[in-house]
Amino acid sequence: MLDLNLIRADADAVKAAVRNRQMAELDPVVDEVLALDARRRELLKEVETLKADRNAASKAISRLKDAAEREARIAEQKGLGDLIAGLDDRLRGIDEALQAQLNTLPNLPDPRTPIGQSEDDNVLLRAVGTPRQFDFDPQPHWDLGPRLGLIDFERGAKLTGSRFYVLTGAGARLQRALIAWMLDLHTRGQGYTEVYTPFLVRENILYGAGQLPKFRENLYHDAEEDLWLVPTAEVPITGLHKDEILEPGALPKRYTGYTPCFRREKMAAGRDVRGIKRGHQFDKVEMYVFCRPEQSDDALERMREHAEATCAGLGLPYRVKQLCTADLGFSARMTYDLEVWAPGCGEWLEVSSVSNCGDFQARRANIRFRRETGARPEFVHTLNGSGLGLPRILIAVLENYQQADGTVVVPEVLRPWMGGLDRLEPEA
RNA sequence: GGAGGGAUGGCCGAGUGGCUUAAGGCGGUUGUCUUGAAAACAACUGUGGGGGCAACCUCACCGGGGGUUCGAAUCCCUCUCCCUCCGCCA
């Protein structure tokens, strides 16, 4: 959520920002917000004056000893309550309308975020590692996986439907190894605290992270208990400190967590149906930071380095992109994407998205801190980044480490979690 | 699933319609005293909104929402969460 004071102070800057995001249709929303805000304050003054009168009158009545006079004064006050209640209702209506409009506005891009028309205008910052040269035709993972007995698409579809798959044997273990290795990397060397969160959350937790109301149709919802399956660990981790005022010295707080992620992918229906690149359920290890406003620029760079270290540790060629205004997520003000090369399917796969959300999520989730004991609370800044998305990193490992004989070499760093196994071969 | 008991400020805890400006204690900050510290004493010590150049004024908030009333922490309805016991369960 944007700061209402900011919109009041510089509505034109907000309009320019939404236009840069290619969301010009939100232009009128800014004016609507200003109009509602003005009406709200007008009405607020009126109703608060009445309330102050009522409070004074009630207090005076309580001091009266004479019964007749009391009755007379009480009779005078009759009707005032209904009048106030009526105005309160109108005020609530305006407030809700204001909130609803405010909720549709995305975060303002950082001035350093390049302005662009579409994802084609994302800026390639650099490429690290050289894609391996093959002296044979590298296979895509949807051929490699089933052949080596690692991925079973048919049974995934039987169990649940399209876009679901089963990992078996060394395939399942390889994913588990990746999760364990990544979590250890983040907690040991990079200073994150591991968290294991619920995978089902309340509606207001999704709202805090900026997923609701905008992305409702892409989420799974349990009607019975009115709970939502998390689309990313970013959601429950943002919610960890919802409605808290963090004490001086508590920041920065850094978390890493593994969760499955559930997405209906309605918006991407028909895209990437082949393989395990885009499923309704996938696993991810997430990094997350709560920090002071002045720390978030630096925190973003560090988190990007942490994500890069994960790609590099696996020996995968990757490239770093900075997203342009058109491709930036709703809550983000600046984002780096990491893509690894998958030689089998012949494309760069987005395995990490590292974003600085500024105070946008903190405002929605009401997460604040004090600089010093007794100081006024201020909103924290939040950052999130994948470290990394599992199915895509699994694809990259299988396709990059495949050999001419159809086997796959296990990356060095994962072997301790694979029981020393150094090569994936078809089961005899 | 069944039966009961709870939710009050940073924490503990009083408060059954107006004398509450939420008692009292703990914690915290500042001051006095002290070479310093402790102790003692004193003052201050929640969040958000609106108005004002400011000192300041004002409204709301006692788990959430709704209601009764001139007036609600207190009465009514409803929801959520926590605790105890029983049953079931990985």
**A163 and A280 in contact (C-beta within 8 Å)?**
yes
Cβ atoms of A175 and A281 within 8 Å: the answer is no
* pLDDT value of residue A30: 93
- Structural tokens at position A217: 């149709």
Q: Which nucleotide is nearest to A226 (CA to C1')?
A: B80
Residue A74: pLDDT over 90: no
What number is the average pLDDT over the span A228-256?
A: 89
**Is residue A151 predicted with pLDDT exceeding 60?**
yes
- Supply the pLDDT for residue A149: 94
Higher pLDDT, A322 or A65: A322
Q: Which residues touch strand B (CB under 7 A)?
A: A 4, 41, 44-45, 48, 51-52, 54-59, 61-62, 74, 77-78, 80-81, 85, 92, 245, 368, 373-374, 376-377
Q: Which fold has domain A119-424?
A: BirA Bifunctional Protein; domain 2 (3.30.930)
Of A60-69, A76-85, A255-264, the least confident? A60-69
User: SS3 sequence, A5-72?
Assistant: HHHHHCHHHHHHHHHHCCCHHHHHHHHHHHHHHHHHHHHHHHHHHHHHHHHHHHHHHHHCCCHHHHHH
User: Nearest residue to B17 (CA, C1')?
Assistant: A62
Range list for CATH 3.30.930.10 in chain A: 119-424
Pairing of strands A193-195, A151-152: unpaired
Q: What is the DSSP letter of A4?
A: H
Q: How confident is the model at residue A297 (pLDDT cuts 50, 70, 90)?
A: very high
pLDDT digits (tens, 9 = 90+) for A15-62: 999 999 999 999 999 999 999 999 998 888 888 888 888 888 888 887
CATH number for the segment(s) A4-103: 1.10.287.40
| Among candidate residues A382, A336, A349, the one with its CA nearest the CA of residue A363 | A382
pTM for the predicted model, two decimal places: 0.91
User: CB within 8 A of A9, min separation 6: which ones?
Assistant: none
Give the nucleotide with minimal C1' distance to the Cα of A202: B80
Q: Does residue A301 register a pLDDT over 60?
A: yes
pLDDT over 80 (residue A165):
yes
Residue A255 has pLDDT above 90, yes or no: yes
Nucleotide nearest to A368 (CA to C1'): B47
Is the pLDDT at A221 greater than 80? The verdict is yes
Nucleotide showing the shortest C1' distance to residue A79 CA? B70
How far, in Å, is the CA of A369 from the C1' of nucleotide B41?
34
Q: How far is the CA of A246 from the C1' of B8 (A)?
A: 22
User: Could you tell me the distance in Å between the CA of residue A61 and the C1' of nucleotide B24?
Assistant: 29
Mean pLDDT of chain A: 91
What does the pLDDT average to over A121-149? Answer: 94
Q: Say what the pLDDT of residue A70 is.
A: 80
For the residues A203-222, what does the mean pLDDT come to?
86
Q: What is the pLDDT of residue A285?
A: 97
Q: How far is the CA of A299 from the C1' of B7 (A)?
A: 39
Specify the domain boundaries for CATH 1.10.287.40 within chain A: 4-103
Strand B positions with any atom < 7 Å from protein CB?
18-19, 21, 28-29, 45, 47-51, 58-60, 66-71
Is residue A223's pLDDT more than 70? yes
Q: Which nucleotide's C1' sits nearest to the alpha carbon of A47?
A: B59
Task: List active site positions of A.
Answer: 263, 278, 350, 353, 392
- Provide the CA A365 to C1' B78 distance, Å, integer: 26
ipTM: 0.80
- In Å, what is the separation between the CA of A374 and the C1' of B25? 21
Compare A80 and A347 and report the one with higher pLDDT. A347
Instruction: Decide: helix, strand or coil at residue A351.
Output: strand
> Side chain identity at A221, as an amino acid letter?
H
pLDDT at A428 over 70: no
Give the per-residue SS3 of A226-244.
CEEECCCCHHHHHHHCCCC
**A253 contacts A376 by C-beta, under 8 angstroms:** no
Q: What's the pLDDT score for residue A243?
A: 84
Greater model confidence, A103 or A224: A103
